[in-house]
Amino acid sequence: MSKKIFSGVQPTGNLHLGNYLGAIKNFVSLQKDKQNNCIYCVVDLHAITVKQDPKILKKNIRETTATFVASGLNPKESIIFNQSMVPSHSEGAWLLGCVARMGWLNRMTQFKEKAGKDKEKASVGLYIYPILMASDILLYDATHVPVGEDQKQHLELTRDIAQKFNLDFDCKNFLTSPEPLIQKDFSRIMSLKDGTKKMSKSDPSDQSRINMTDDKDLIVSKIKKAKTDSAKLPENDKDINNRPELKNLYGIFSSIQNQALDLTIEEFKGKNFSEFKNKLAEALVEKIYPISNETNKLLNDEKFIDQILLDGSEKAEAIAKKKVNDIKNIIGF
């Protein structure tokens, strides 16, 4: 059955290995199935929920687009576009925001994490951002949304909004409840410095993540310095429990190599840590460095990148505008 796929990535600073293994790698495999209609968005309206420098934001929008393409997304096969160039997303967010309930938003753990202790000082945008995300998805009747584990709750909210809209306005199945596509394993890549914390752009330590723009030497040195424990390498999958750093590094290796965790455990049984780390660094350099190299090449041609976004945004707007108009009709405008 053909699937309508939608997903987005914020253009806030360097994309990292978590974004790649948790999301972008999956975007590329979904594009390979010709039955799927794939739409991938650079969600710059989400990025401004925290303060951005205008010049750097522009650079980051191009860099995220270039990373999409360098990772294997093809603008001839998927719609690749920029959220702020499609005004229907903001309009849809307002309309759906009148359906969503405060109580639902108050449960969002990502807001609590990002706002920190001083919630009063967080932007209103940060609070209502899951509604914009729901608008992104629902305007395209997306059936499947590939994301990392951290977006699961936002997807549940999207489904709640769709169901309430359909019920409130007596229009069964008008808004499609999307299914999250979260990889069974390796959907939450953790910090290289602390295996209990998510790998994130906002971690002040650059050593905590592999950026998609890191060069070979940096990748190797970050893996060498990655935190590990002093026990020997695991003999079986029970040996990996309660060892968050090791579990994370084994997960990264397995995901990069497209192999099950069991095989990784088997491969390194009885070997020492430095041997494993060398192999991990080698695998990362082999997979990530060509993407970073290609991203930099693409960034030399800003016109090419801008044209991808322009073409993609025209296609996206045609779909989204029609859905917003249908929503407005149903509401009674």
Q: Which amino acids are annotated catalytic?
A: 114, 198, 201
Token duo for residue 271: 């070997």
Q: Identify the residue among 4, 14, 18, 30 touching ligand TYM (CB under 6 A).
A: 18
Q: Which residue in this structure is represented by tokens 């969002």?
A: 108
β-bridge mates for residue 42, sequence order: 9, 82
Q: Does 6 bind ligand TYM (CB under 6 A)?
A: yes
Considering only the stretches 150-158, 241-249, 309-317, 318-326, report the one whose residues sit in contact with ligand TYM under the rule CB under 6 A: 150-158
What does 222-242 look like in DSSP terms, one character per residue? Answer: HHHHS---SSPPPSSGGGGTT
Residue 22 binds ligand TYM (CB under 6 A): yes
10 forms part of the interface with ligand TYM (CB under 6 A):
yes
Q: Is 7 or 166 the residue whose CB approaches ligand TYM more closely?
A: 7
Closest to 39 in 3D by CA, of 135, 136, 129: 136
Does residue 161 bind ligand TYM (CB under 6 A)?
no
Q: Of the candidates 28, 61, 79, 147, which one interacts with ligand TYM according to CB under 6 A?
A: 147
Task: Assign 55 to helix, strand or coil.
Answer: helix
CB 189 within 8 A of CB 17: yes
Residue from 86, 96, 108, 189 touching ligand TYM (CB under 6 A): that is 189
Q: Comparing C-alpha atoms, which of 227, 231, 149 is closest to residue 187?
A: 149
* Number of DSSP helices (H) and strands (E) in the chain, helices first: 14, 5
Among 30, 17, 64, smallest CA distance to 207 is for 17
Under the binding rule (CB under 6 A), the answer on residue 9 touching ligand TYM is yes
Q: Is 188 in the site for ligand TYM (CB under 6 A)?
A: yes
Interface pick for ligand TYM out of 138, 145, 226, 284 (rule CB under 6 A):
145
Specify the stretch interacting with ligand TYM by CB under 6 A; choose among 48-56, 113-121, 181-189, 235-243.
181-189
Asked whether position 8 contacts ligand TYM by CB under 6 A, the answer is yes
Q: Is 137:159 a contact under the CB 8 Å cutoff?
A: no
- Taking the C-alpha atoms of residue 286 and residue 106, their distance in angstroms, rounded to an integer, is 43
Region from 6-14, 111-119, 277-285, 312-320 binding ligand TYM, contact rule CB under 6 A: 6-14
Closest to 138 (Cα-Cα) out of 109, 169, 173: 173
Site membership for ligand TYM, residue 195 (CB under 6 A): no
Q: Which is nearer to ligand TYM, 8 or 234 (CB)?
A: 8
Under rule CB under 6 A, which residues in 39-68 are in contact with ligand TYM? 43, 46
- Contact at 8 Å (CB) between 285 and 292? no
- CA distances to 46, 129, 150, 195 from 49, rounded to whole Å, are 6, 8, 17, 27
- Which segment (49-57, 144-152, 289-297, 301-309) binds ligand TYM by CB under 6 A? 144-152
Q: Three-state SS for 321?
A: helix
Q: Which stretch binds ligand TYM (CB under 6 A): 186-194, 245-253, 259-267, 302-310?
A: 186-194
* Smallest gap from residue 274 Cβ to ligand TYM (A): 25
Q: What's the closest the beta carbon of residue 208 comes to ligand TYM, in angstroms?
A: 10
User: Is the Cβ–Cβ distance between 41 and 7 less than 8 Å?
Assistant: yes
Q: Are 71 and 29 in contact (CB under 8 A)?
A: no
Binding site for ligand TYM (CB under 6 A): 6-10, 18-19, 22-23, 43, 46, 133, 136-137, 145, 147-148, 150-151, 154, 187-189, 198-199
